Structure 1
Amino acid sequence: MTGPANGFPVDRRALLAGAAGVAGSLVAGLALPAASAAAARGRYPANWPDPEPYGLADTRTDLWPRNDNSFVLPLELRPRDRELGRVWIRDTYVNCFVVDGKPLYVATGTTRVPGLPAAGPWNDGIFLWLAPSLRGPWRLADTTAIRSDAEPGAEKGAEKGKVWSPEFVGENRPGRTVVAPWQEYWDDHGQFGKRGNAWAPEVHYFRGTWYIVACMGDHSTKVGSFLLISEGGPEGPYRLAEGNADKPFGDSFVGGPSFIAPGAYHHIDGSIYTEDDAAWLVLHNHLYAPFRDDMEDIVPTTDLPLFQQTPYTPEPYLEGAYVFKHGGKYFLVHAAWDRASTNTDGTTRNAYDTAAPGRVQYQYDAVVAVADRFEGPYSERWTAGVGAGHNNFFLDHHGQPWATFFRNPAAGYWADPSRVGDAAAAGVVRLEWTGPEGNRLYAARRPGHGPQA
């Protein structure tokens, strides 16, 4: 999340310059973010008691994205989307910024190429959509002036809205790298053939510059997070940060599927957190690092610092780490699989367990913890959204908090043949804040769960 105190992500210089109209109403919204009528009277929804013991998943339907608290974004279709009738997307990312005194919404995520069922073993990069409001209209970023057939060295025939791709390697110039060698497509001449895919992009607007942080996925020569820096608007053109010329951020470690070459796997799912004039890289699933002032690399250190967390026992595999500041508190979001199993009495157990025989992936949830400081210590986690894992939290231009979701088609509830047609969608769900005492964010629950004085 980007902006002053990570409340509403505003262009502070535009507001300080006296931007009027919409910007003025946004500043008013900053004074009381996400204020409902009840909150304005000093009353907030209550925290729910947590399932016990710690680590059990909360499966109550109030925490699901529903018709009354969520919707799928009407993103402009690309030619490849017309058969499905909507955009197939994972790892949905949405945010709202103020540019020239007006709200600008951005949306992106992990997409696939025509003919492939998923975003691997290769995909063709990162697409971006823009809108003046959360409801739209959502238009593909206009990249036609950047990549046209008349521009020497530009990718010919690149689709509108595509802001970065391994295809753009031909745009590299001395002193300006767009695609590093480790990000280029390659062919293993056997098991997978063409390989190389970009994952989980996020768009940030910081100190007047647009950035994209993303990850080269499991089928890439090197797997890990990288930063793109725009030399124009949100549509680009983007170049690669200097610190990623040879590798992803951080050091490599043992991990990933067996088909990844030893030493090629780095920390994935990169995110950016900014506050005032400082920025940090957040990495899967417990690391962070400050960026250099010029944003060309992270500050060098022997070992990346770790968030102080309250882990489950045992700690399962977590993904999609994201930090959001709201109400003066820091919220650390993770994606965790709720695995269903059978208790000795025959009842169903839903928990954020490690994988084991008899434990079946059920829902890909968003679990959240809260702290007084960015680095922690963070509280015990709670289920904030059922099936809303690998998301981000953001504020709309009225100060209302939202989370994204995408309905994971890889396994579990949304992989069922009766539902998979609605999976991999760009969704947003309204959040509710339980106030300065409760300090929790949940997917907006149905009315009637009781206010807190």
Structure 2
Amino acid sequence: MTSNESGSHVGRRTVMAGMAGLVGAAALPPVTAAGDPGIQSAGRTSMRRYPSPWPELEPYGLADTRPELWPREDNSFVLPLELRPRDDELGRVWMRDTYVNCFLVDGRPQYVATGTTRAPGVSGPAPWNDGLFVWVSSSLSGPWRLADTTGIRPDVEKGKVWSPEFVGENRSGRTVVAPWQEYWYDEQFGKRGAVWAPEVHFFRGTWYIAACMGDHSRKVGSFLLVSEGGVEGPYRLAEGNVDKPFGDSFIGGPAFIEPGAYHHIDGSIYTENDDAWLVLHNDLYARFRDDMEDIIPTTGLPRFQQRPYEPEPYLEGAYVFKYGGKYFLLHAAWNRTSTNADGTTRNAYDPAGPGRVQYHYDAIMAVADHFEGPYSKRWSAGVGAGHNNIFQDAGGRLWATFFRNPRFGYWSDPSRRDKATVPGVVRMEWTGPTTNRLYVQRPRH
């Protein structure tokens, strides 16, 4: 995530509006590039009353499930992204890991949206999907159009900026698709290879995409694409990723992943002034070289100073955002229900185990004075809003993305699945420079 204090960065994710029970854009005031004068921007601090933070839950690791922290009709909506032919039947874009951001390009706000999508005829993003799509807009409320890639690849679906199928574009000294990113086949799964969790960044006048090859790829891990044109590309692979993903390999992931093939996933970018860092799940980071072709160091990466839960569960989607002079570290964590000794329900960010049932894929957050930490205790920032990013719109307001994870828990219920995997955005609120907490915008009483 780019700092809100960086020069080129403004701010990171309704066709569905008419569907019963679904968050709709009509539930919120129109959001335009000029901003909403009814909401104070972050810079207008004089005479302002900040919302109060909630007390920390004890013991540390309990999850806050109050409905005030859910994306609701009064604080969120689903982006009206331009549909592709594959989206017609569903009536919206199927998306996980929704990412949205706003950048200042040639003096004007440029909104971008992307995420993990699925190929036609495939129920999810695995064992293969067909690449990365990007949408653009001059306003958060739209219209959102697919990036115009027709001048680069006239015979390829509009908006697709990168895919393993572009391997034929490799040339000497210019790699578009590395061998470890290509599609491959086996008897168990057939076609394999998927790209997940993309982010689009505009840094020092160049467009970049950080993304991850998923569990069914030859090698699993994060990589960087560099545009040789605009946000639509054409993109090539950074030199440091020609042979492998960023960082070290280790034992991890499902049993079908080949030994040595698993690297750290969910790569994110944080920029501040003229410097850029790679953030990897769930506690690693590294500075990019000045030319952005690789990271320093390439292996043995340093770790954020965090306050883990005891025991620490599996976390995903590490992401850093700077606001009000503080650094906020986000993670996605499963809020699991279990039963206390007195028969009451316990909601906590516990590891998987007997009697623990996945309930919501939450956004948890911690704050620090420095990028590397030490970070505070974590708190629940958004129920069901995990694997997200935070961004500022052109008017200075804070938003976060969400997608409603249908794999387990609340959104996996058959009665709700048609409202999951959406490109959603929800307003955030800041509790001010003294307490420095960010939450999904809670109802005002």
Q: TM-score, normalised by structure 1?
A: 0.91
Structure 1 residue 86 and structure 2 residue 92: aligned? yes
Partner of 2:56: 50
Equivalent of 1:357 in 354, 371, 389: 354
Partner of 2:42: 34
The whole-number CA distance in structure 1 between the counterparts of 2:238 and 2:299 is: 21
- The amino acid across from 2:174 in the alignment is R
Moved over 6 A (4+): none
Structure 1 residue 146 and structure 2 residue 144: aligned? no
Equivalent of 2:411 in 410, 414, 430: 414
Structure 1 residue 2 and structure 2 residue 5: aligned? no
Partner of 1:134: 140
The whole-number CA distance in structure 2 between the counterparts of 1:355 and 1:228 is: 35
The secondary structure found in structure 2 opposite 1:167 is helix
Partner of 1:14: none
Partner of 1:15: none
Render the CA deviation track for 1:290-348: whole Å, top value 9, x for unaligned. 00000000013551000000100000000000000000000000000000111111111
User: 5+ residue gaps in structure 2?
Assistant: 12-31
- CA distance change for structure 1 residues 221 and 73 in 2, over 3 Å: closer, same or farther? same
Equivalent of 1:169 in 160, 167, 172: 167
The whole-number CA distance in structure 1 between the counterparts of 2:152 and 2:7 is: 33
The whole-number CA distance in structure 1 between the counterparts of 2:322 and 2:219 is: 32
The whole-number CA distance in structure 2 between the counterparts of 1:222 and 1:301 is: 16
- CA distance change for structure 1 residues 4 and 77 in 2, over 3 Å: closer, same or farther? closer
- The amino acid across from 2:42 in the alignment is A
Structure 1 residue 104 and structure 2 residue 110: aligned? yes
The Cα RMSD (Å) is 1.7
Equivalent of 1:305 in 296, 302, 305: 302
- Contact 1:342–1:348 (Cα < 8 Å) also in 2: yes
Partner of 1:434: 431
The whole-number CA distance in structure 1 between the counterparts of 2:397 and 2:418 is: 30
The whole-number CA distance in structure 2 between the counterparts of 1:392 and 1:277 is: 21
Structure 1 residue 114 and structure 2 residue 120: aligned? yes
The secondary structure found in structure 2 opposite 1:436 is coil
The whole-number CA distance in structure 1 between the counterparts of 2:100 and 2:354 is: 36
Render the CA deviation track for 1:126-147: whole Å, top value 9, x for unaligned. 0000000100000000000000
Deviation of 1:191 after TM superposition, in Å, equals 1.1
Partner of 2:444: 447
The whole-number CA distance in structure 2 between the counterparts of 1:191 and 1:424 is: 27
- Contact 2:10–2:393 (Cα < 8 Å) also in 1: no
The whole-number CA distance in structure 2 between the counterparts of 1:206 and 1:379 is: 29
The whole-number CA distance in structure 2 between the counterparts of 1:123 and 1:52 is: 42
The whole-number CA distance in structure 1 between the counterparts of 2:318 and 2:151 is: 35
The whole-number CA distance in structure 1 between the counterparts of 2:42 and 2:294 is: 34
Render the CA deviation track for 1:396-436: whole Å, top value 9, x for unaligned. 00110100000001110001000000000000000000000
Structure 1 residue 243 and structure 2 residue 240: aligned? yes
Partner of 1:183: 181
Partner of 1:19: none
- The amino acid across from 2:9 in the alignment is P
Structure 1 residue 64 and structure 2 residue 70: aligned? yes
The whole-number CA distance in structure 2 between the counterparts of 1:381 and 1:209 is: 34
Deviation of 1:3 after TM superposition, in Å, equals 4.9
Render the CA deviation track for 1:45-86: whole Å, top value 9, x for unaligned. 000012211000000000000000000000000000000000
Render the CA deviation track for 1:128-167: whole Å, top value 9, x for unaligned. 000001000000000000002xxxxxxxx31100000000
The whole-number CA distance in structure 2 between the counterparts of 1:248 and 1:302 is: 11
Deviation of 1:43 after TM superposition, in Å, equals 1.7
The whole-number CA distance in structure 2 between the counterparts of 1:86 and 1:427 is: 11
The whole-number CA distance in structure 2 between the counterparts of 1:168 and 1:333 is: 33
Matches within 5 A, 1:176-255: 176-188=174-186, 190-255=187-252
Render the CA deviation track for 1:355-380: whole Å, top value 9, x for unaligned. 00110000000000000000000000
The whole-number CA distance in structure 2 between the counterparts of 1:236 and 1:114 is: 23
The secondary structure found in structure 1 opposite 2:380 is strand
The secondary structure found in structure 2 opposite 1:44 is coil
Deviation of 1:35 after TM superposition, in Å, equals 5.5
- Contact 1:35–1:400 (Cα < 8 Å) also in 2: no
